[in-house]
A and B are shown apart, each in its own frame.
Chain A
């Protein structure tokens, strides 16, 4: 593909010299920045060495053009999932110094997403939750469609259907309204 050839040409041109703002950062000068997706064995070995991973274990995130570069794909386990009894260098993060960080590390901290195993399987949880919610929604829908209440009639008012209160004149004799039966 033409894209790959162009990338390699760019890579060989830019090897070693990093200009611009990136040149000022100490990580960039020591060659530790995110580089391009590795293509040949040499680049894979260099990337594995850079990230302190075994060459056999190193697997870059798939090259979908989503901007990962050569960052390794680490297992998607949260920090809560790690052994609490081991002596970590940073116990609150459950991480050792210079250990390769997951791309979504800030998502996997103990305050946030947790991949620990659940007491019941995921399918059971889904069935229970959606079953209950669905059942309640259905019942409320039925209750709305078929309302159940005491039989009612129109409201009855005293004083000849409130003849005076409704603005009727006191001189005019209102018609007798009988709202009862004895």
Chain B
């Protein structure tokens, strides 16, 4: 496995990560074990609910609820910093004035051309 090269357009699978074989430090192994334990706990919860014969309702996904709520309510945590103010001005305020100016100038110019008989469609 030492000369394994990743397949094109794919990342190296976790089972072939060299850290799994060579990184034997206890801290890293403990961290990996904790992560695996978290994942296994979630899997177990899901399987218990999935295979429960008395279950009549949909299985609710708390991570999905959290994500949906977080995406729907960013304004509760909004702060007016330099960056956010700049972005707001750039995307919210500037286009109004720029587009007004562009359209007005274009309309006025074409109207004057039409009046002078210069307008060629």
Chain A residues within 8 Å of B, Cβ to Cβ: 3, 25-28, 32-34, 36-37, 50-54, 56-57, 63-69, 71, 77, 81, 83, 85, 89, 96-101, 103, 105, 116-119
Contact = CB atoms under 8 A, between A and B. Distances in A.
Contacts of B61: 97-98
A98 B63 contact: yes
Nearest to B7: A117
Contacts of A50: 66
A64 B81 contact: yes
Interface residues of B, number: 38
Contacts, number: 115
Interface string B54-97: 00000101111111011101111111110110000000000000
Contacts of B65: 26-27, 32
Judged by DSSP, the binding face of B is helix
A71 B80 contact: no
A1 to B, nearest CB: 11
B46 A98 contact: yes
Q: When A and B form their complex, which 3 residue pairs have the shortest distance between CB atoms, in order from nearest?
A: A67-B74, A65-B79, A97-B46
Judged by DSSP, the binding face of A is loop
B35 A57 contact: yes
A109 B113 CA distance: 52
B104 interface: no
A63 B83 CA distance: 12
B63 A117 contact: no
Given A52-B63, A97-B59, A101-B64, A67 B45 contact: no
A12 to B, nearest CB: 17
Contacts of A98: 42, 45-46, 61-63
A54 B28 CA distance: 13
A105 B70 CA distance: 12
A57 B69 CA distance: 22
A97 B43 CA distance: 7
Contacts of A57: 31, 35
A85 B65 CA distance: 27
21 contacts: A27-B62, A32-B69, A37-B77, A50-B66, A52-B42, A57-B31, A57-B35, A64-B83, A64-B84, A66-B84, A67-B74, A69-B77, A85-B13, A89-B46, A96-B39, A98-B42, A98-B61, A99-B63, A101-B64, A117-B8, A117-B9
